[in-house]
Amino acid sequence: MDKQKSVQELDEVVVRFSGDSGDGMQLTGTLFADASALFGNGVNTFPDYPSEIRAPQGTVGGVSGFQVHLGNQKVNTPGDFCDVLVAMNPAALKANAKWVKKGGMIIADADQFNEKGFQRAGYKTLDAVTELNLQDFKLIYAPITTLTKESLKDSGLDNKSIVRSKNMFALGMVYYIFDRPLNFTEKYYEVKFKKKPEIIEANKKVLRDGHIYAGNIHAIPNTYVIKPSTTRTKGKYRSINGNTATAWGLIAAAEKANLPLFCGSYPITPATDVLIELAKRKDLGVKTLQAEDEIAGICTAIGAAYAGNFAVTSTSGPGLSLKSEALGLAVMTELPLVVVNVQRGGPSTGLPTKTEQSDLMQALYGRNGEAPMVVIAASTPSNCFDYAFWAGKIAMEHMTPVLLLTDGFIANGSEPWRIPSMKDYPAINPPIVPEGTENFMPYARDEKRLARGWAFPGKKGIAHRVGGLEKDFIKGSVSHDSMNHQRMVDIREAKVQRVKEFIPEQEVLGDKEGDLLVVGWGGTHGHLLTAVQEMRAAGKRVSLCHFNYIYPLPKNTREIFSRYKKIVVCELNLGQFANYLRMNLQEFNYLQFNKVQGLPFTVVELVDRFNQILEGK
Amino acid sequence: MEEKYLQYTPQDFKSDQEVRWCPGCGDHAILSAVQKGLPEVSKALKYNLERYVFVSGIGCSSRFPYYVDTYGFHGIHGRASAIATGVKVANPTLSVWQITGDGDALAIGGNHFIHAVRRNIDTNILLFNNQIYGLTKGQYSPTSPLGKITKTSPFGTVEHPFRPGELVIGAQGKFFARSLDIDVKLTSELMVEAAKHDGTSVVEILQNCVIFNDGAYDYITDREHREDRVIVLRHGEKMVFGKNRDKGLVLSGLSLKVVTIGQGGFTMDDILVHDAYNSNPGVHMMLANMEFPDYPVALGVIRNVKDSTYDDNVRDQVLEVMKDAKIKSVDDLLNSGETWEV
Ligand SMILES: Cc1ncc(C[n+]2csc(CCOP(=O)(O)OP(=O)(O)O)c2C)c(N)n1
Ligand code: SF4
């Protein structure tokens, strides 16, 4: 290796891997992120993939990307723009060039930049630099395919397997640039391909050759180090994405309630992985039922809740639409149920693989009748665990359906997570009705929570009937009495509002008063936080109020809002939360910043907008 | 002390709710058949009362759970099969009964119905077939005969009806039986058979809606013709019917044929013996599809075949995986896989 090259220290860096859907970019990015996390960096990732499983090879529609943001501190977003772009073909370069910082480095597989490649990607010329205006970037054309073939010519592998390893060559190059050790990734091969030693060896060789190649070419003048974070709390860490965290949080709630977990679901992007993660957990007694549709998913869950399991169903936008009627049934029967909705771009099938926050109104009100239920939103990949846990706790202790909102961005994004211990989580004590309770009244309530009792079939002496028809206030038998209906509508609302007394007060990041309060909810947390931190570092009187508990709103919300000159509500929709706040806290003036492009905010656009607001524009 | 399950009477299964079906509705007879059948089921299977859960969708028939004094769930239209499935998977020791109408099970709930049958989840489905939508006051249903005049088909329907038995067997159903609302004894008997069967048991009960489809089954229920127009099948017995027990079914080529014993050279030896346990659905399908006037309508257990059930498979798989699992708690799970110390 060329020791002459200088080593520069950086605080943070963003790397984006991009290639054809079949090029293995998601894995490459994940390996880079995991190696960096192990090294001790702050890490945040964002996969960006097309909804077609295999769009025509080499086309822009088929480009799959994975962005990794590393820092010597905790990083809260995957980064707006990248410092290094790996582009495995002309289509990847075309699709991603706009995401590279001015002067950034682009590593491209020269072998793919031929006439055919340009043509498939829809270039007008055979000159990517001029056509895409890349004069100011550091473009490294490396013959990655050829070098991979050369590296593995004696491996005994067939040509297809050899070519498939080229992503590891590229990864080796990136490891060189950022001075990353190879051993973590080598270990990964050993575990993953345990039964195929020849694949382990081949991958190791390609990775190392990529590393060596990058060290030998003179096109890479510097290598960079991003030091391990020193501010992180000591402890054991793992990497976690939002969907896995959600699934595990639900299992944790079942464990704390000492009840079996039942999940009835139907696959849908980007929520499927919640079902997949739960299906793996037969070892913890989890029962998953892949239903015939989303309606059956929620109805099996309601049946399971009636029969005494902690029941959940997971879905995304179109599936939530199908579940509406049954959500009303869960409200009426006052059974515990957690519905996870991983939001994606809508309406209709919309943008299945892109992120959005546009199901909020549906979550709050998308049902016939007055059908209130608790709505909670997770805001980072790892806190999906906590909010799934709390969703379960609230559902079971308050005897109500709870809708947990996440989104494609945090569901697929990952970050290092200090592994919690279950002893630090509270017990869950559902109001289970004991066998043989005398004069059992199915709709009698406890005074604190207004929750009715949960009476499991199979127990002696408490047989009862529930259903979707209006219930008598105490007996739970069918009642068409008009005053009884008013009373029941009121008490169902009051029961959900009562949850306010059991959730934490809303927190504010920054000063308790100021010129501007930035308000957000759910998966935009990392971007809003970073933007507000930047503003504050520049001396601006800006604070962040980011919501996880949406229905009901935390008790102190009004009080917080009253202490700022201006409020701006930022969300990835046309203003659903802003309008919800207008309904509930009418005395404030809400400015909005909205974006509906299937993409997260960028910190840059947030900071720009906040500055404009401060300047009165 | 004698176990409680041996002592139940129909009275034990009567709830205090006022029964609200129209006077003369076939549902009354079915309710009394169920209240008579449950003590029998309890005796046969040693079930205590608290083990029963009645789940329904929406329709006149679906009001049923309010009238039996067991656990009950009155769901939403068409979804009873899914709700019942959830109840059973959550607690496989429960005896789950689904009450559903022809609209509830076969129109809005068709998808859930066939999938419950395909999964062979151990529930008992009592399908009240009145060939009409009762609760919504008289629109045609998926079992109304072609040409039927109803409120939404003033010139007659233009669509072919489902035959529930054919649908069940087509969905790989393992148990299908049929009864008449007025035949309380047979309905109770079939309930016991359904309960004994592990897997989805579908009992179609031909039910008269006096208000919107009165007399739809008169051709087989009136005393005068009944015995000549229905055949009650019993496993292991000859397929014989008729007032004089002189008619029977034989196989002619690939079809069933009605013959008179002692005529045309047919003797009792030629008459088919009913084999409900045969896994081959061929004859069962033909029996389930028999329609008047070419054939007698088949009652009794038409098909009763053993196979593994969904709920058993779920339980077995969980136990199997748990047996030598490394992960035994959420803490184990959180600390599994790739981790590192800071
Ligand atoms: C989602 C929905 N759509 C429509 C209805 C109206 N509806 C209630 S019962 C019914 C049909 C009932 O017919 P069937 O299932 O045959 O039962 P029956 O009343 O004849 O016993 C309909 C259309 C409803 N309750 N819910
Ligand atoms: S409308 Fe028909 S099915 Fe409904 S209760 Fe009356 S008679 Fe029975």
* pLDDT on residue B5: 76
pLDDT digits (tens, 9 = 90+) for A256-297: 999 999 999 999 999 999 999 999 999 999 999 999 999 999
Q: Supply φ then ψ for residue A91, to 5 degrees.
A: -65, -40
Nearest CB among B58, B72, B322 relative to A282 is that of B322
Q: How far is CA B30 from CA A441, B127, B130, in A?
A: 28, 11, 12
Distance from CA of A467 to the nearest CA of B (A): 4
Quote the CA–CA distance of B98 and B204 in Å, as a whole number. 12
> A35: buried, middle or exposed (CB in 10 Å: 19+, 13-18, 0-12)?
buried
Are A465 and B72 in contact, with CB atoms under 8 Å apart?
Answer: yes
pLDDT digits (tens, 9 = 90+) for B315-324: 999 999 999 9
Distance from CA of B34 to the nearest CA of A (A): 17
Model confidence at A219, pLDDT cuts 50, 70, 90, reads confident
Residue whose CA lies nearest to ligand 1 atom number 6: B136
Quote the CA–CA distance of A319 and A341 in Å, as a whole number. 8
Query: Which residues of B are less than 8 Å from A335 in CB distance?
Result: none
pLDDT digits (tens, 9 = 90+) for A486-509: 999 999 999 999 999 999 999 999
For residue A22, give the DSSP letter.
G
Check if A149 contacts B (Cβ < 8 Å). no
- How is the beta sheet containing B240-241 ordered, strand by strand? B240-241, B247-252, B255-260
Distance spanning both ends of chain A, measured CA to CA = 54
Distance from CA of A439 to the nearest CA of B (A): 14
* pLDDT on residue A5: 60
Does A47 have pLDDT greater than 70?
A: yes
Judge if the beta carbon of residue B77 lies within 6 A of ligand 1: yes
Check if A457 contacts B (Cβ < 8 Å). yes
pLDDT digits (tens, 9 = 90+) for B10-24: 999 999 999 999 999
Average pLDDT of chain A, as a whole number: 95
pLDDT digits (tens, 9 = 90+) for A449-467: 999 999 999 999 999 999 9
Does B1 have pLDDT greater than 50?
A: no
Does B79 have pLDDT greater than 50?
A: yes
Across A54-58, A523-527, A591-595, least confident range: A54-58
Does B3 have pLDDT greater than 80?
A: no
B309's CB contacts (< 8 A; 6+ apart) are B120, B121, B122, B198, B199
* pLDDT on residue A4: 55
User: Average pLDDT of B115-128?
Assistant: 98
Quote the CA–CA distance of A65 and A67 in Å, as a whole number. 7
Expressed in angstroms and rounded, the spacing between residue B77 Cα and the centre of ligand 1 is 6
Q: How far is CA A450 from CA A385, A423, A444, A447, A484, in A?
A: 27, 28, 9, 5, 16
Distance from CA of A47 to the nearest CA of B (A): 20
Distance from CA of A239 to the nearest CA of B (A): 8
Mutate which of B22, B104, B125 for ligand 1 pocket (most atoms within 8 A of beta carbon):
B104
Task: Quote the ipTM score.
Answer: 0.97
- Name beta bridge partners: A71: A12, A42
Across A20-24, A537-541, A557-561, least confident range: A20-24
Nearest CB among B73, B93, B338 relative to A238 is that of B338
Does A369 have pLDDT greater than 80?
A: yes
pLDDT digits (tens, 9 = 90+) for A128-178: 999 999 999 999 999 999 999 999 999 989 999 999 999 999 999 999 999
Model confidence at B313, pLDDT cuts 50, 70, 90, reads very high
Query: Which residues of B are less than 8 Å from A303 in CB distance?
Result: 55, 73, 82-88, 90
* pLDDT on residue A431: 98
| Residues belonging to chain A | 617
Does A313 have pLDDT greater than 70?
A: yes
* pLDDT on residue A66: 96
Helix (H, G, I), strand (E, B) or coil at B238: strand
- Name beta bridge partners: A237: A418, B340
With an 8 Å Cβ cutoff, are A289 and B89 in contact? yes
- Name beta bridge partners: B203: B126, B177
Tokens of A522: 């759910």
Does B273 have pLDDT greater than 50?
A: yes
pLDDT digits (tens, 9 = 90+) for A548-604: 999 999 999 999 999 999 999 999 999 999 999 999 999 999 999 999 999 999 999
* pLDDT on residue B2: 52
Of the residues B5, B70, B83, B113, the best mutation for testing chain A's interface (the one with the most A CB atoms within 10 Å of its CB) is B83
Distance spanning both ends of chain B, measured CA to CA = 65
With an 8 Å Cβ cutoff, are A460 and B50 in contact? yes
A246's CB contacts (< 8 A; 6+ apart) are A274, A277, A314, A340, A342, A378, A384, A385, A388, A404, A406, A411
Query: Which residues of B are less than 8 Å from A296 in CB distance?
Result: 79, 81-82, 85, 111-112, 115
User: Average pLDDT of A347-351?
Assistant: 96
Nearest to A566 by CA among A537, A539, A545: A545
User: Average pLDDT of B211-232?
Assistant: 95
Would you tell me which residues 499-558 of chain A have a C-beta closer than 8 angstroms to some C-beta of chain B? Answer: none
Q: Would you tell me how many other CB atoms lie within 10 Å of the CB of residue A282? A: 18
Q: Which residue in this structure is represented by tokens 């009913």? A: B274
User: Average pLDDT of A174-184?
Assistant: 92
With an 8 Å Cβ cutoff, are A296 and B72 in contact? no
Mutate which of B100, B136, B152 for ligand 1 pocket (most atoms within 8 A of beta carbon):
B136
Tokens of B52: 């029963």
Judge if the beta carbon of residue B212 lies within 6 A of ligand 2: yes
Are B65 and B38 in contact, with CB atoms under 8 Å apart?
Answer: no
Q: Which residues of B255-271 are buried (b: 16+ CB within 10 A; e: fewer)?
A: ebebbebeeeebeeeeb
B327-330 LR contacts (CB < 8 Å, sep 24+): B327/A281, B327/A283, B327/A284, B328/A283, B328/A284, B329/A255, B329/A284, B329/A422, B330/A248, B330/A251, B330/A252, B330/A255, B330/A284, B330/A422
Residue whose CA lies nearest to ligand 1 atom number 24: B77
Expressed in angstroms and rounded, the spacing between residue B58 Cα and the centre of ligand 1 is 5
Are A560 and A508 in contact, with CB atoms under 8 Å apart?
Answer: yes
* pLDDT on residue A1: 43
Nearest to A78 by CA among A97, A65, A62: A65
Q: Tell me, letter by letter, the H, E, C secondary structure of A36-98.
A: HHHHCCEEEEEEECCCCCCCCCCCHHHEEEEEEEEECCCCCCCCCCEEEEEECCHHHHHHHHH
Please state, for a pLDDT cut of 90, what percent of chain A lies above it.
Answer: 91
Q: Which residue in this structure is represented by tokens 């009884």? A: A484
User: Average pLDDT of B66-90?
Assistant: 98
Query: Which residues of B are less than 8 Å from A442 in CB distance?
Result: none
Task: State pTM to two decimals.
Answer: 0.95
A586's CB contacts (< 8 A; 6+ apart) are none
Find the Cα–Cα–Cα–Cα dihedral B40, B43, B49, B51, rounded to 10°: -100
